[in-house]
């Protein structure tokens, strides 16, 4: 049974993955361990049957990763758990929303070699089968990975990932995707030479988020501050 079939058969019409992503985003921004615990129980209760290391286990690993990060910002998956995620995400050539969702959450906590390999697999699938509905999910995943690499002090890999993103992601009219790539580019530029122009562009982007999505701006402020970019 494929991963998407699993959720369709288990809970027809469910918006679990959308709520899952929203809950984890809220938990990340507000250190909401109680919300993660409730989500974990919901997943366990709603999907009592699943093959070992199947979709259900990967969702639980995602929750485990976010909880670990909230408790310790240096959290990394164990070698065993990282390998489990890698095997699951490499099970086929085409990624769907489930794979994107899981990778978006877990990528920052994976060892760099596994993260980079899975990023290439994701981009290959996205480039081969470009589904516009996945633009935001893919961009969010790449954004999380770039930040994780920068936070680890690995600017070289972060720049390489951004370059592969610009080359490998099909042109999209989605404003969110375009703004994420642009914001990363300006952040890298500022970190490289403290360009006043780059900082001005970052401020303009964040002023827009302040009007249209304050939660997004709050999230951006956190990672920009951690990189030493003060607005």
| pLDDT tens digits, one per residue of 64-82 | 999 999 999 899 999 999 9
pLDDT for the residue 33: 95
Instruction: Find the length of the chain.
Output: 231
pLDDT at residue 109 tops 60: yes
**What stretches of the chain adopt beta strand conformation (E)?**
none
Of the two residues 189 and 113, the one the predictor is more confident about is: 113
pLDDT for the residue 4: 44
Reference 81, options 47, 114, 122, 124; nearest CA is 114
Segment 166-190 shows an average pLDDT of 74
Distance CA 14, CA 220 (A): 30
Q: pLDDT tens digits for 179-216? A: 777 888 888 788 878 889 999 999 999 999 899 888 88
Reference 49, options 96, 3, 6, 97; nearest CA is 6
pLDDT for the residue 2: 43
CA angle 77, 82, 85 (to 5 degrees): 125
pLDDT for the residue 218: 86
Segment 96-125 shows an average pLDDT of 91
pLDDT for the residue 171: 62
Lowest mean pLDDT across 25-34, 49-58, 128-137, 183-192: 128-137
Q: Mind giving me the DSSP string for 130-195?
A: --GGGHHHHHHHHHHHHHHHHHTT-HHHHHHHHHHHHHHSPP---HHHHHHHHHHHHHHHHHHH--
Question: How many C-alpha atoms does 28 have within 13 Å on its Cβ side?
Answer: 23
Distance CA 183, CA 198 (A): 9
DSSP type of residue 32:
-
Query: Taking the model in full, what pTM does it have?
Result: 0.76
DSSP type of residue 76:
-
Dihedral (C-alpha) 39, 40, 46, 51: value to the nearest 10 degrees? 140
Cβ atoms of residues 137 and 97 within 8 Å: yes
Share of the chain above pLDDT 70, in %: 89
pLDDT for the residue 14: 55
pLDDT for the residue 22: 82
Q: Rounded mean pLDDT of the chain?
A: 83
pLDDT at residue 124 tops 60: yes
pLDDT band at 173 (very low <50, low <70, confident <90, very high): low
pLDDT at residue 39 tops 60: yes
């Amino acid at each position: 049974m494929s991963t998407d079939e699993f959720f369709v058969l288990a809970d027809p019409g469910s918006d679990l993955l959308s709520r899952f992503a929203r809950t984890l985003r809220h938990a990340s921004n507000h250190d909401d361990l109680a919300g993660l615990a409730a989500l974990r129980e919901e997943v366990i209760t709603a999907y009592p049957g699943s093959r070992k290391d199947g979709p259900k286990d990967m969702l639980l690993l995602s929750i485990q990763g976010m909880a670990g990060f909230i408790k310790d910002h240096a959290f990394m998956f164990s070698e065993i758990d990282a390998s489990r995620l890698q095997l699951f995400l490499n099970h086929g050539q085409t990624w769907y929303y489930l794979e994107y969702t899981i990778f978006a959450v877990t990528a920052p906590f994976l060892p760099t070699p596994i993260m980079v390999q899975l990023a290439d697999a994701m981009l290959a699938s996205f480039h081969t089968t470009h589904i516009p509905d996945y633009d935001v999910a893919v961009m969010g995943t790449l954004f999380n990975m770039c930040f994780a690499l920068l936070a680890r002090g690995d600017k070289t890999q972060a720049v390489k990932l951004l370059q592969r993103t610009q080359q490998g992601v099909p042109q999209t009219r989605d404003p969110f995707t375009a703004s994420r790539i642009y914001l990363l580019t300006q952040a890298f530029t500022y970190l490289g030479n403290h360009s006043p122009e780059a900082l001005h562009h970052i401020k303009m982007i964040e002023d827009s988020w302040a009007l249209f999505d304050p939660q997004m701006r709050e999230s951006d402020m956190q990672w920009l501050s951690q990189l030493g970019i003060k607005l």
